[in-house]
Amino acid sequence: MPLFTITMRSSRRGPDKATLSATIHAASVAAGYPHNDMFQRFFSLEADDLRIDPTYPGLPKPRTNELLMIEVVVSSGTPIERKHELLAALIAGLDAVGVDGNDVMVFFGEIDRTSSSFANAELAPPVVLG
């Protein structure tokens, strides 16, 4: 279950949401998540609604208006290696469609699956890591 929230400026001119969605989903599958495990939401904000420091934390060049802020919620206990695989696949895939890695911020958050429901008011079963 990664849940992806992609926040960007509404004036963004880079790849469209369909391309970004397909690229992010391909990265998720490459990191070992099932193909039908696709949950994404996009927020397009006006310039005044998305304020970021252009060079934090000491970037050699400033971020542009093409910024993508990607939040990834994964199940608690997700191995750090899987997060690294997903991060690497995200950056490689986005680079392949013309997104500069300097304009990509990724934040991971974890949630216990028993604190979520996918449907019918049933709590999600815990993940069994093999």
> Looking at residue 26, what is its pLDDT?
98
pLDDT of residue 112: 84
Q: Of 112 and 72, which is predicted with more confidence?
A: 72
* Structural domains of the chain, with CATH: 3-123 (3.30.429.10)
Average pLDDT, the chain: 91
DSSP notation for 53-112 = -SSTTT-SS---TT-EEEEEEEETT--HHHHHHHHHHHHHHHHHTT--GGGEEEEEEEE-
3-state secondary structure of 10: coil
Give this prediction's pTM: 0.89
15-72 tens-digit pLDDT: 899 999 999 999 999 999 999 999 999 999 999 999 999 999 999 999 999 999 999 9
Tokens 């608690």 sit on residue: 76
Q: Higher-confidence residue: 122 or 129?
A: 122
Residues 28-43: tens digit of each pLDDT: 999 999 999 999 999 9
Would you state the pLDDT for residue 128?
57
pLDDT value at residue 35:
94
CB 43 within 8 A of CB 5: yes
